[in-house]
Amino acid sequence: MKILAINPGSTSTKIAVFEDLNLKYDKTLRHSVEELEPFNSIIDQYQFRRDVIMNFLKEMNDTPDTIDVFVGRGGLVKPIPGGVYRVNDALLRDLRVGIMGEHASNLGGILANEIARSAKKQNCSFIVDPVVVDELDDIARYSGRPELPRVSIFHALNQKAVARRFARENNLKYEDLSLIVVHLGGGITVGAHKNGRVIDVNNGLDGDGPFSPERTGSLPAGALTKLCFSGKYQYHEVKKMITGAGGMVAYLGTNNGSEIEKRIDNDDQKAKMVYSAMAYQVSKEIGSCASVLYGKVDAILLTGGLAYSDILTKWIAKRVEFIAPVKVYPGEDELQALCEGVYYGLKGEVPIKDYV
């Protein structure tokens, strides 16, 4: 099975070609500000990005005709359960109009579908576990204000891929396990996985859970309200404080974990305190998820780019290993996760769903 995986980002398009689960080649195709400037919206970039992908395939002496399956990063569609979804008209419509917002990942399913169609391979394009995967238990939606329900926005693709990887490594079924999966990246999300569903997870995008390299996580509500009405800040400035300029950026001026570890090695006590505080908050969130699972947790899985940090993962493990064994899966290889999702879907191990 030859698989083309496509992951559009704000200034790049990452693509990879696999034979079954084995990487044949990959490439990050970067797009300059000047190249993207003529486009008024993300969706207007479709033809440009399609041409870039097709040209690269040609450079590799490859064509869509030789590819069996086309999978794109899932975009901001309406909230759906996790899984593999065949690209259909309803999905394409919602990706094009940006039903839940405009994001480069909205192009993933569109590009996969159109490149498949160019090879006359209808029904061979898919998306896997978009960020809007919503499997929350109803009780997890309550926040304390009816106008402000808790919502599910998290690193679904990586969390689900790592959970399934752990299950396969141990000859178990994801659907039979209770896991806590922690994505440690620019944003941090901690999910309670129960029998194949993420029944509770913090919204890692805009203010819930532990602080991260770029995001504040949960804030004291009263103090935040005073700040908002102080007259010092406009709406967009407060939003930037919460997402983009929060967390480690706010305290230390950087979102780079390696740089902070160098500071710690040079006896920077403030850097050590902030980094350890982030580990502390992640550990608290893991403990919260353990209570959601009634303390019956098969494993705690740490993943994402910051999972390469021995010091961070050891700090977290030291606080939570009494709950369950801790296993580290560093990195967030989204192209591999897309490939694995559609591969196991077509093998019948993961259901392929219809988007409606």
Residue 321 pLDDT > 90:
yes
Q: What mean pLDDT is reported for the chain? A: 95
Q: How confident is the model at residue 332 (pLDDT cuts 50, 70, 90)?
A: confident
pLDDT in tens, 98-136: 888 888 999 999 999 999 999 999 899 999 999 899 999
Backbone angles phi, psi at 188, to 5 degrees: -120, 125
pLDDT in tens, 193-214: 999 999 999 998 888 999 999 9
pLDDT score for 103? 85
Give the mean model confidence (pLDDT) for residues 16-38.
Answer: 94
CA distance between the termini of the chain = 27
Residue 96 pLDDT > 90:
yes
**Sign of the torsion formed by the C-alpha atoms of 132, 194, 166 and 217:** positive
Q: In order of start, what are the domains of the chain with their CATH numbers? A: 2-134+335-354 (3.30.420.40), 156-331 (3.30.420.40)
Residue 279 pLDDT > 90:
yes
Residues 6+ apart with CB under 8 A from 179: 163, 166, 192, 193, 297, 298, 299, 300, 301
Cα separation, 210 vs 193, whole angstroms: 18
pLDDT in tens, 143-182: 999 999 999 989 999 999 999 999 999 999 999 999 999 9
Residue 10 pLDDT > 90:
no
